[in-house]
Amino acid sequence: MDTQCVVVGAGAAGLAVSRALSEVGVEHLVLERHDVADTWRRQRWDSFTLNTPDSMNDGLRAGPGLGTTCPRDEVVQLLTEQAQALPVRPRTAVTAVDSIPPGFLVSTPDGTLSAPTLVLASGLLNVPRRPAQAGLVAPRVHQLHASDYRSPSQLPDGAVLVVGGGQSGCQIAEDLALAGRTVYLSTSRVGRIPWLYRGRESLAWLVDCGFWDQRPQDLPHPTDTALTVPLLAGGRSLDLRILSGLGVRLVGRFASADGETIGFEGSPSAYAAQADDAWARLRSLIDHHIEEHDIVAPDPATADRPGGPVPDPGAAVLDLHSADVTTLIWSTGFTGDLSWVNLPLFGPDGRLEHDGCAAPWPGLWYVGFPWLTRRCSGIFHGFSRDAQDIVHGVVHELDR
């Protein structure tokens, strides 16, 4: 064998595994198809900031205090510095993984490597996804995916339609509105959570409440793992009311495209009410925790003051030409591509099969994918803990 373990992907999750493997003396290599932290370099806009406070960004840096957040360029810099002390091979794409008992054959353009253990840290949400109806939009309209958006200055003059009411869509709409652009936002059913609540970051309260440690089996229904993360932005609150107050013109959920006409369904005001309901459930969880542990915190009655009403559009369609829309940004999420792994990783329902971080194949693990062991598996807060679980498994496999 060429090494004891191969880690595919040098993002935050892959580097967390590499650090943990180094600490226990496991010889390994981290292969990265581009540069370290490539997703952060290539798929985040200029003003992007991590949604989580520094206290939750395990393995990135220790936050000095309340309200601190980490911008995109600092994330890239910190991860790049970490990689310098680790066995990372950048610009080494993995083109295939095959089973060669007792281990794996990892193919790259520079040759092959063999190892008894393998960790996939390449991500499962890194391939931009846009609806098939994008091809039906009038050719004059400049279209791009949120992963290709960097700043308002890159777009042609005119109004912008952002399709997608999750984190990226709302943050991009805010970025454009603050730059003085006319923005239409196609909304959807997404919860909200204020950045601060009762004197502390709401997300940090939820750490103490055990919210981020919820396992898939703790949820009312298995499909709840697909629910969108509640809306906020790094260092500040962000919701439909705030966006409306900035002048963003809210429309319903994207339904159809036909040349210059975009059709919508649903109601922005109804989505805002549903977001309030989602926050009410989380707020109750935090309040209960504070009361149960006799924590001194500001009065909740003054801690969350949403803005004004969310108006519904007068029509269920938008005429792009009449509205002077020259750009359409698809903030419609990502999918993943593991077709280069020549192993049966997916079940009959198309879902990735796993037991925690362990794949249904001896010696293979995942890291950085959503909901592997708990709610936080797909964010910085969960990478280090999942990495420790993986390393225990790797060591056990090597000792067999």
Q: Measure Cα distances from 283 to 165, 170, 239, 372 in Å.
A: 22, 22, 16, 26
Q: What is the pLDDT of residue 305?
A: 57
The SS3 assignment for 313 reads coil
Note whether 78 and 21 are within 8 A (CB).
no
Distance of CA 101 to the CA centre of its chain: 35
Q: What is the pLDDT of residue 315?
A: 81
Angle at CA 264, nearest 5°, toward 234 and 331?
Answer: 30
User: From 3.50.50.60, 3.40.50.720, 3.30.465.10, 1.20.1250.20, which CATH number describes the 5-126+336-399 domain?
Assistant: 3.50.50.60
**β-sheet bridge partners, residue 143:** 328
DSSP state of 116: S
Note whether 345 and 188 are within 8 A (CB).
no
Q: What is the pLDDT of residue 66?
A: 45
Domain-wise residue ranges, the chain = 5-126+336-399, 129-330
Query: How confident is the chain (400 residues) per 10-residue block, as mean pLDDT?
Result: 94 97 98 94 92 87 60 93 96 97 95 97 89 96 97 98 95 98 96 93 95 91 81 91 95 97 96 94 96 93 67 90 98 92 92 94 96 95 96 94
Note whether 367 and 160 are within 8 A (CB).
no
What are the tokens at 151?
A: 């700043």
Closest CA to 301 of 283, 315, 316, 328: 283
The SS3 assignment for 395 reads helix
Quickly list H helices, 190-256: 202-208, 240-245
Residue 317, Cβ neighbours under 10 Å: how many?
16
